[in-house]
């Protein structure tokens, strides 16, 4: 007995189309779209820039694809009604469209890129909290000093006098100024919900100005490969209300110990999957010592070396000590100390003797 199908082929086609589309999008169901739907104004502007640029490029890509399919169908061999003009070779109107449209889009992309490059400069202080709220006058940014270690993150809060490992927090709608460096190798500081990635390099300082507009817990990580423990180099960033942030600071002061130079030297040793650590007190000048690579007081700071070089160097008279160590099949000499303007007097006899020799 013949039964009439529940849906006709014409009615079944849209259903099948939607089913195929749903199956095609199924692998994306678990994807986190935080990059295109962030909670910080800087990241939002960057996402809008990606969307605008993509749409501008699609103005060329989509028509080209559609016209390619149309031409292939219209001028197929079996279509005897298509115009056949084998001697055709030029059309001024067509040339204007082919070259003019891409040129206008390139000009638009160039203008947007130039403006955004300056507007979203990570070193540039913020001018607004979001698209509808300018930055109130007199608002002081929260300063956070970031150190990329192997393989963990250290965050120093100079204003609050605390430090944390693998946990970062900031008040909602308060500008944040990050100062970023690294202890050994290059990493990249990245919180997708807050702003784009910024590289962290030893002996150098990069900066990032950003703001978080929604409370919540967000993931941060290193987006630049830096060795064996790179995959676990992650931390939590908490966007908190002002009251909750003050409570978080108080918690760190109650539970934390002291981050001295000796403790830091132990902390910077390579380790993986480090738990959150809290420090209620931080040694004076620790971040500057990390930046200048002289946490170990036996080493001369990069700033001192550069000051000596800027003054024209010191020559043999400025060298206080030379030592030797095994190198290959022989030995190699190296400088162990130089006098600086701060301690030149204690090295004066040695420098005088060196000049007399």
Q: Does pLDDT of 169 surpass 90? A: yes
Digit-coded pLDDT (tens) for 238-273: 999 999 999 999 999 999 899 999 999 999 999 999
pLDDT tier at 303, thresholds 50, 70, 90? confident
| Four-residue CA torsion sign, 135, 137, 139, 145 | positive
Where b means 16+ CB within 10 Å and e means fewer, 212-245 reads bbeeeebebbbbbebeebbeebebebbbbeeeeb
Quickly state the pLDDT bin for 352 (edges 50, 70, 90): very low
pLDDT at residue 88, as a whole number: 84
Rounded to 10°, the helix 92-119/41-74 angle is 170
The CATH number of 130-291 is which of 3.30.70.260, 1.20.1270.360, 3.40.50.300, 2.60.40.420? 2.60.40.420
Per residue in 21-80, pLDDT tens?
556 555 555 456 888 899 999 999 999 999 999 999 999 999 999 999 998 998 888 888
Return the domain boundaries, the chain.
Answer: 33-73+93-120, 130-291, 302-356
What pLDDT score was predicted for residue 314? Answer: 61
Highest mean pLDDT among 180-189, 308-317, 330-339: 180-189
The predicted pLDDT at position 351 comes to 40
């Amino acid at each position: 007995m013949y039964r009439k199908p529940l849906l006709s082929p014409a009615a079944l086609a849209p259903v099948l189309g939607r089913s195929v589309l749903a199956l095609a999008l199924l692998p994306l169901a678990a994807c986190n779209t935080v990059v295109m739907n962030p909670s910080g104004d800087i990241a939002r502007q960057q996402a809008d820039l990606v969307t605008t640029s993509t749409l501008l490029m699609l103005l060329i890509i989509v028509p080209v694809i559609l016209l390619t399919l149309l031409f292939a169908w219209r001028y197929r061999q079996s279509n005897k009604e298509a115009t056949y003009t084998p001697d055709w070779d030029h059309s001024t109107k067509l040339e204007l469209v082919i070259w003019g449209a891409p040129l206008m889009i390139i000009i638009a992309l160039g203008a947007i890129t130039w403006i955004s490059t300056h507007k979203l400069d990570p070193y540039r202080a913020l001018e607004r909290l979001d698209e509808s709220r300018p930055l109130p006058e007199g608002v002081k940014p929260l300063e956070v000093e970031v150190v990329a270690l192997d393989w963990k993150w250290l965050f120093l809060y100079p204003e609050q006098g605390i430090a944390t490992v693998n946990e970062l927090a900031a008040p909602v709608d308060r500008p944040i100024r990050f100062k970023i460096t690294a202890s050994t190798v290059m990493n990249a500081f990245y919180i997708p919900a807050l702003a784009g990635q910024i590289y962290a390099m030893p002996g150098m300082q990069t900066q990032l100005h950003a703001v978080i507009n929604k409370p919540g817990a967000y993931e941060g990580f290193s987006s630049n490969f830096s060795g064996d423990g790179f995959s676990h180099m992650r931390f939590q960033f908490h966007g908190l209300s002002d009251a909750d942030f003050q409570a978080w600071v108080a918690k760190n002061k109650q539970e934390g110990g002291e981050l001295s130079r000796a403790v830091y030297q132990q902390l910077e040793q390579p380790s993986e999957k480090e738990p959150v650590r809290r420090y209620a007190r931080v040694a004076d000048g620790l971040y500057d010592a990390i930046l200048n690579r002289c946490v170990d007081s036996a080493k001369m700071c990069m700033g001192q070396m550069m000051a000596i070089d800027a003054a024209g160097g010191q020559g043999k008279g400025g060298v206080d000590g030379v030592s030797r160590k095994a190198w290959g099949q022989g030995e190699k000499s190296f400088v162990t100390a130089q006098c600086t303007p701060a301690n030149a007097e204690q090295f004066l006899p040695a420098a005088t003797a060196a000049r007399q020799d």
